[in-house]
């Protein structure tokens, strides 16, 4: 490789097996990272590398160029199935978003960067998320809607807008947006919000009256289910899961397996590592597979 211009070195880093997770995956949550897989013996790599470094300097921090010498990082190259070099992969928000193989002309490399770098809609989403988190819901909503006007497929704008609508109790509109989000990193957040909305739906019942009905007739699964909904909506998740689990024990097909599905919603809401999730997921498995 040619000697780097000092201006470029601020945006160019060398990465190996040990630091790829932090230097690329974690860092791409904050800014795009373009990874150049190369080797000293590769002629096309020697042509492409300086171009990428020059562009990294020209873009002045819009992305970080991470150079991976595959000879010095064989485990990483094997894990990512790098079979041809140069190979360039763009990461954003912790995931690969674009890639190419070979020494492309500068115009095509610039077109690749445009796919990796945040679009105008992406920048609006970042502004909207800051506004929402600081309590400026109306301004955030307007910003997310502008992002969707620019890019009707911008999933983070859909999610941000759905969060605002859900906070207002406009759950039908929120769910319509969530349903438009496809597989990928945003889908997991969308699933969590959808689960939160479903859990909240049972907030209107009378806990005392429902407990009395269940005490009088433990086989009254409808009252037990409604009681579980009330408890879940009040964030008393362990108590709700106890009731749902009892329904699964007595009749797992009740309400089209509604108790099992409700338990999965609570697991999604709390997250897979939460102590309540771990415990009740195990208890549910024992009932289902006993």
What residues act catalytically? 42, 45
- The enclosing H or E element of 91 equals strand 87-92
What contacts 43, CB < 8 A, 6 or more positions away? none
Query: b vs e for 249-273, b when ≥16 Cβ sit within 10 Å of the residue's Cβ?
Result: eeeeebeeebbbebbbbbbbbbeee
List Cβ neighbours of 251 (8 Å cut-off, separation of 6 or more): 221
Task: Residue 287: name the closest of 253, 239, 238, 236 by CA.
Answer: 253
Count of helix runs (H) and strand runs (E) in the chain:
15, 5
**d(C-alpha 91, C-alpha 66), whole Å:** 10
Contact criterion met (CB below 8 Å) for 71 and 40: yes
Torsion angles phi and psi, residue 283, rounded to 5: -65, -40
Spatial distance between the Cα atoms of 134 and 132, rounded to a whole number of angstroms: 5
Count of other CB atoms within 10 angstroms of residue 145 = 15
């Amino acid at each position: 490789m040619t000697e780097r211009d000092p201006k470029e070195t601020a945006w160019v880093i060398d990465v190996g097996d040990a630091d790829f997770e932090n230097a690329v995956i974690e860092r791409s949550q904050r800014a795009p990272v373009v990874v150049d897989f190369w080797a000293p013996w590769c002629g096309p790599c020697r042509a492409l590398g300086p171009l990428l470094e020059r562009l990294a300097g020209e873009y002045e921090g819009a992305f970080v160029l991470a150079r991976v010498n595959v000879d010095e990082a064989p485990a990483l190259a094997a894990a990512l199935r790098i079979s041809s070099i140069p190979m360039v992969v763009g990461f954003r928000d912790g995931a690969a978003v674009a890639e190419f193989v070979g020494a492309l002309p500068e115009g095509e490399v610039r077109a690749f960067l445009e796919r990796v770098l945040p679009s105008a809609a992406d920048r609006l989403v970042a502004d909207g998320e800051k506004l929402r988190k600081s309590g400026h819901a109306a301004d955030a909503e307007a910003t997310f809607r502008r992002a969707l006007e620019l890019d009707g497929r911008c999933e983070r704008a859909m999610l941000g807008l759905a969060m605002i609508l859900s906070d207002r109790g406009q759950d039908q509109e929120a769910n319509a947006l969530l349903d438009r989000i496809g597989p990928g990193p945003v889908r997991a957040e969308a699933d969590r919000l959808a689960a939160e909305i479903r859990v909240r739906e049972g907030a209107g019942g009378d806990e005392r009256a429902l407990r009395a009905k269940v005490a009088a007739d433990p086989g009254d699964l409808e009252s037990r289910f409604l009681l579980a909904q009330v408890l879940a909506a009040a964030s008393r998740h362990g108590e709700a899961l106890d009731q749902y689990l009892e329904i699964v024990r007595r009749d797992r097909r009740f309400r089209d397996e509604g108790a099992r599905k409700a338990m999965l919603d609570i697991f999604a809401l709390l997250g897979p590592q939460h102590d309540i999730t771990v415990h009740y997921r195990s208890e549910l498995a024992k009932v289902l597979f006993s």
